[in-house]
Structure 1
């Protein structure tokens, strides 16, 4: 198979599935992992896809783009894990915790399993599955209902109404983008409403966002930068992002990512 034909197959599969791993491409096309990585480099340079840890996803585009959970879960995996490990240090046994839907908060959910006696409220079935997985813990998990989005969030009036009745010690918010003027944003209007209700239910807001979120602006604002008590991001954050967040946020925590990006 010629390189051009192979790369066309890669783009077609990415558009069909949203995300594919290198090992899957290699097996599908009968070539080495290194060949696939070179193909992904070439296609990424043309803007036809986004390279991520272990594979590729559809190229990011407009403010209304909403990738599925699987596609997002492949992006910035080492960064998300480092952010989650830093975030879990903010949680004490017996705390009432809110977790928005998202792949960074999903990573945090794995770490939270080690903390005793938590009550965790989430609008994500993916996060609930992590917290209910064996071996079972002594945590109480509350899942608010609603309409399911492409990113596997449960959103809408039912979720907003349920969250309005709750009082949480700390809320961890994952976001689609963050920028100085737009604040923390999402491409989904219903998800923005639900996330705002979750933020309002918490006494303390912690935003979890890897460096690629800086400068990305979704359709709807969830909160201003200054609404966050803590922002945890990674050391890939550019200088203008560091300056803006340091100016607006009381506590900016930048974690070092050891893995090669």
Structure 2
């Protein structure tokens, strides 16, 4: 009996210590946890810190107002520093090649004979073409100059959209590109986001890229498919391309936390995990 009381006292002592955490201390702990794990649930934070779920929700509201996280169904996800500019093409070409290869392979498996496709600029798009069945007849419309090298030896027909060459992204852009897009109605569009979040949707720091991606979505008469590495989640730029609900199918890699997948599916978004 005495031992039980001692355990209770010890347990209560731990709870009281957690309750004495100042809000700023709780906020810092939540930020650290999210930076490490990318996502966390309200119930788990409540148990870890020994405070009510209502208190945790207020903490999350405060941190969301500061732009440090995004609240989701039953929890929160990490929000990266705001993206102010596009990374150079050569830099992105070296980032996460194995993961992009997995996503590209999964995306290529969705392409059917005689499909017409929009293929966005972005290095992940190159892996889609790399894994495309060389004997499959398809038509690919793209502003991605890197596609020229990847399409060699394949039966696919590549149509490079005209416009002004932009070396930062190794792609074509401008009024001519937009005019050409308005005449095409493909069956599928494969987009590669600079940033993707629950609250802000698909975003980019580039005016021309935002306009181009919006046009691709609008002109597509079938599925809008987004190929996103885990590094693009929680990243937000100034220009909104589309809300996340506009996505018909999201292909992600296995490093995206399970809680993230749960919240995406709660929004009605179909998700495929590449492995």
TM-score scaled by length of structure 1: 0.70
Which of 172, 192, 201 is the equivalent residue of 1:174? Answer: 192
CA contact (8 A) 1:228 1:249 kept: no
1:240 is displaced (CA, Å) by 4.6
Is residue 147 of structure 1 aligned with residue 164 of structure 2? yes
Distance 2:237 2:148 in 1: 26
Aligned length: 194
**Cα 1:159–1:113, aligned 2, differ >3 Å: closer, same or farther?**
farther
Which of 142, 164, 169 is the equivalent residue of 1:122? Answer: 142
Distance 2:179 2:211 in 1: 11
Ranges of 4+ aligned residues in structure 1 off by more than 3 Å: none
1:141 is displaced (CA, Å) by 1.0
Bigger Cα Rg: 2
Is residue 223 of structure 1 aligned with residue 242 of structure 2? yes
Which of 99, 123, 141 is the equivalent residue of 1:79? Answer: 99
Distance 2:237 2:261 in 1: 20
List alignment gaps of at least 5 residues for structure 2: 1-79
Distance 2:237 2:243 in 1: 13
Provide Cα deviations, 1:138-174, integer angstroms capped at 9, x if missing partner: 3211111223331222222211111111010101001
Distance 1:78 1:210 in 2: 11
Distance 1:61 1:216 in 2: 7
1:61-100 map, 5 Å: 62-100=82-120
Paired residue for 1:212?
A: 231
Distance 1:181 1:122 in 2: 28
Paired residue for 1:186?
A: 204
TM-score scaled by length of structure 2: 0.66
Question: RMSD between aligned alpha carbons?
Answer: 1.7
